[in-house]
Amino acid sequence: MKKNTFAILLVAISMLLVLAACGKDNNSGSNTTASGNNKGGASASEVTVNIGVQHAVAPLVLAQQQKWFEEEFAKHNAKVSWVEVPGGPAQFDAILTDRLDLAVTGNTTVITGQISDIPFKEIAIGSTGSKNVGLLLPKNSTITDLSELKGKKIAVAKATAAYDILFRLLDKAGLTANDVELIQLSADEAKAAFVGGSVDAWAIGEPYLSTAVVDEGAKVLADGSSINYISPAFHIVRTKFADEHPDLVVAYLKVLEKTLQWQTDHLDEAVKIYAEGTKLNPEVVKSVISNVQFATVPISDDFVKAQGELAAFLLKEKAVNKSVDPSKVVDNTFINQALEELKNDK
């Protein structure tokens, strides 16, 4: 391979570090869309809550389509502004520049965000799963074992859960990044390359994984279940927003938990809503829901430990240039309060 892929990731992280430095200089004032400094109870003036959303099958998207956030936030004199972000570094860039207050993101991203000193907190687990991220092959591929990837072109987006899984799968096969040709592409770019036959494999998560399998006949060569590894997603909040509007953070989590319960009780209807809103094949939606274990729960010590192990793994592989303590950005205060209020509301 002409260029070590970890060098590419280091460049991306360096860019985030530069953004962080600039952000500390430029963002000392209050957020114009989430103004005020009310640390308890509803906000006195109307607040705009910027929520990140992606093309996905997840309770957050279902609540968006049903306008349940708008209903709940209206009780707090707040309104919603939906911010479409592709995930990864783009989310943390938006947090850094006060354009994003709340979002859900993957395991690797929170590590690189913390390394870049982005001011955020992890406030709940959004999902887990061992089959929600995997390595895909085209339907006509003759590859049957991970070891056969040597010398092959693999599409993957840097600083994502798929990036993490890919290197763990390569390690299982006795391969390194130097044994394959990694093609750094966004999910949509990688999909085009994969369907077009310009790459031999694609490391990706949901809903792209199920879409490729159901619609394109792609094959899953391996996923987290192949190495007994879980890829979680976390709800995150911009630190200043959490400090100024804790009531809205709790409200956000309450909507998500109620949406998840509604999805469980009305699965067929939820599948229909997802399919219509995301333009995905209903069979794709069903596959995603089967592969992803959605949740709205506190971040346990086991998950914090796993994040620490991931941070150490990335440092060992020279994918990052310093170590971090993931426990420093975990704050279960909001999810604990949200679950307690929902319990009392019954």
Q: 45-92, pLDDT tens digit by residue?
A: 889 999 999 888 999 999 999 999 999 999 999 999 999 987 778 899
Can the peptide bond before residue 207 be classed as cis, meaning omega within 30 degrees of 0?
yes
pLDDT on residue 29: 37
pLDDT on residue 9: 45
pLDDT on residue 27: 42
pLDDT on residue 282: 97
pLDDT on residue 24: 44
Domains in the chain with CATH codes: 5-129+232-345 (3.40.190.10), 133-226 (3.40.190.10)
Place of tokens 């990052």: 320
Comparing CA positions, the residue from 254, 224, 270, 281 lying closest to residue 335 is: 254
pLDDT on residue 44: 60
Largest CA-CA distance found in the chain, in angstroms, rounded? 63
Q: Which residues of the chain have pLDDT under 70?
A: 1-44
Segment 127-167, tens digit of pLDDT:
999 999 999 999 999 999 999 999 999 999 887 889 889 99
